[in-house]
Chain A
């Protein structure tokens, strides 16, 4: 499905497509880009996009954005995701960057924005805590003012790729006596500061994506406070809105469906009744994707006319993640007995993987995809948002 594109937009789409085809680094084509790339490798594409001036589609031109229309941004997103490119550092570019140029001061903009764009600084997100998952407003990490520093103590968790990070943006409590939402501040912390410890969390697929981050008497200069003290909740919500817009994942689902079709074709003989069952199940998922894509296009068209999409992001998050879980489950089922094996990771340490190569990542993807309905605001929370904000319940 395509948007009805103007001649200029169609030319733009072709330009993006050609650029990806000619410039995406071959060494980034690995079985599972999310877990198999080194820090350096995963930055290659980021740097290429930076040089081209395409690294931050969302950003205003004055801060280094390309100055694209809503439609162009959508086209870019669609093309990069259809091609299966690894997105540039999302916590840096999509999340903390916009907070800094929207709420930060001049000095912060000059210090941080160029390094975010170039990929020189890798950012991670210090939001969740052991006691604050869905209920983020209860964060307990404390920042106490002491002269021209804050002294920070606390425990952040589920911190994605903190092992690579140079900086962490944190929600910290600066006013313990205020209502939960009112006493929070948004603080930027150098990961090299004394007192910052990163502990890996291994997940059920055996990979190391997330971490605990412990902050013990970490001294943070006051100039690293973004915006006003105790207004952090406003900035945090602004950021979470950005996090959820891209979760429909149409391009990714489309790619995985075509791979799944290949697997079914090779694994299950056409005269096996299971073959027809798989075709039907795949068709149902394709229709889910088609309907979600049509919804996305409808929202994009409305946004281009200046209409606020409201909590559409929650709908995309719910359906996008459920669809992808369905695809990974079906793929895992399609490889039959080989679904019992799992590839080399810290926990399983398989040096040998049985079965055809197209099945080698099916188990880990199936297990890893369970996180999708939990992170970024669980799907239960997203449903609450729609119930309240759309249905008025």
Chain B
């Protein structure tokens, strides 16, 4: 099961690689993260121009129809360069939801702005007590004419400070953790009654806590079917995040290997110590396993296999643990240097730590993998 890229996919990969190599080295990225906004609209524009923001979306919805494999190709390269721009949030999460559950009118209204880079989106699903459960929603939406009015609070909304639109989950019926009764809404980020408190994430992105007081929103997808839509959306996001992690793992491994061949202590390179050789072999194996499972998931996302969601959880767990292991060891083997803000190694460590929390940590997903098996 090795993926043979088509000519088109190869072209996509090499063009992303070229763009990032020329414009997104570690120093350029540092400047972007330290800037007032914390991300680069210029880069975002370049992504749009290259067609990246259209690549995975279906032709029916106005995209290029590259599907999950194009997401995989893009995110793998983004992982290697620690890209902070909200591709996952805008294209994979919001774009994917609009494509899969939006009406034709909504696709026509929203997809062009995503593709041309003019509108940024974020997904607000988490709440104070929700942990990783999409169904644990207390934010309320009540019908008001053809619209809805939302009241409540959302937490940890990545990219919200940059966003023009939000997709917000809110309860239209039921209580507590009822799966049914949760619906999705498109909200203008600058809408009246929407309050936003921004902060930085551990990996240098921006996120926000969001308060909603009688905020107008339009329904996305069917009323009461928000959890199912979010679960499918999470599977696709996991594909993207796994590719990103595998990209980061590859960079960490090659940086660590290089370092071990040049760093000398006790009169020899540290790479000549057997204990460190074995450690790096385990890091290599972790990379291979993560890469394989990530590709397996990406292929399955394309064909919509049965048991897809279970596989997604399995991959999130396995790739997450692999990332955690490699990141820990990469810092350890770089010694004090691995602890510094100056070297890129610590930044990969933080990105992997951050990805591991998003949509549920590896422990959450291994349990879900087990539970879905028991339920089958």
Residues in chain A within 8 A of chain B (CB atoms): 128, 131-135, 138, 157-158, 201-204, 206, 210, 267-268, 272-274, 277, 332-333, 336-342, 347-355, 363, 366-367, 370-371, 373-375, 378, 380, 383
Question: Are A354 and B339 in contact, with the CB atoms below 8 A?
Answer: no
Question: Are A204 and B346 in contact, with the CB atoms below 8 A?
Answer: yes
Cβ contacts under 8 Å, B346 to chain A: 203-204, 367
Cβ contacts under 8 Å, B156 to chain A: 337-338, 340-341, 354
Say what secondary structure dominates the interface of chain B: mixed
Among B336, B340, B363, contact of A202 (Cβ-Cβ < 8 Å): B340
Q: How many interface contacts (CB-CB < 8 Å) are there between A and B?
A: 128
Question: Are A206 and B132 in contact, with the CB atoms below 8 A?
Answer: no
In the complex, per-residue mask of B200-229: 1 if CB is within 8 Å of any chain A CB, else 0: 111000010100000000000000000000
Question: Are B363 and A274 in contact, with the CB atoms below 8 A?
Answer: yes
A-B contact list, 16 entries, CB within 8 Å: A134-B265, A204-B350, A274-B131, A277-B363, A336-B131, A336-B357, A337-B131, A337-B132, A337-B155, A340-B156, A340-B158, A341-B201, A363-B202, A371-B336, A374-B331, A374-B338
Question: Are B201 and A268 in contact, with the CB atoms below 8 A?
Answer: no
Among B197, B332, B357, contact of A354 (Cβ-Cβ < 8 Å): B197
Cβ contacts under 8 Å, A333 to chain B: 361, 363
Shortest distance from the beta carbon of B274 to any chain A beta carbon, whole Å: 11
Cβ contacts under 8 Å, B364 to chain A: 274
Decide yes or no whether B144 CB sits under 8 A from chain A.
Answer: no
Decide yes or no whether B276 CB sits under 8 A from chain A.
Answer: yes
Cβ contacts under 8 Å, B197 to chain A: 352, 354
Question: Are B131 and A268 in contact, with the CB atoms below 8 A?
Answer: yes
Question: Are B131 and A204 in contact, with the CB atoms below 8 A?
Answer: no
Shortest distance from the beta carbon of B149 to any chain A beta carbon, whole Å: 25
Cβ contacts under 8 Å, B158 to chain A: 340
In the complex, per-residue mask of B335-376: 1 if CB is within 8 Å of any chain A CB, else 0: 110111110001101100110011001011001000100000
Cβ contacts under 8 Å, A375 to chain B: 336
Cβ contacts under 8 Å, B349 to chain A: 204, 367, 370
Decide yes or no whether B5 CB sits under 8 A from chain A.
Answer: no
Whole-angstrom CA separation of A157 from B340 in the bound complex = 12
Question: Are A341 and B202 in contact, with the CB atoms below 8 A?
Answer: yes
Q: Ordered nearest first, which 7 A-B pairs have the shortest CB separation? A: A204-B346, A135-B265, A202-B341, A337-B156, A336-B131, A342-B202, A350-B199
Q: CB-nearest residue of chain A relative to B355?
A: A340
Shortest distance from the beta carbon of A270 to any chain B beta carbon, whole Å: 13
A378 with B350, Cβ < 8 A, contacts A204-B341, A333-B363 known:
no
Question: Are B207 and A341 in contact, with the CB atoms below 8 A?
Answer: yes
Whole-angstrom CA separation of A347 from B266 in the bound complex = 35
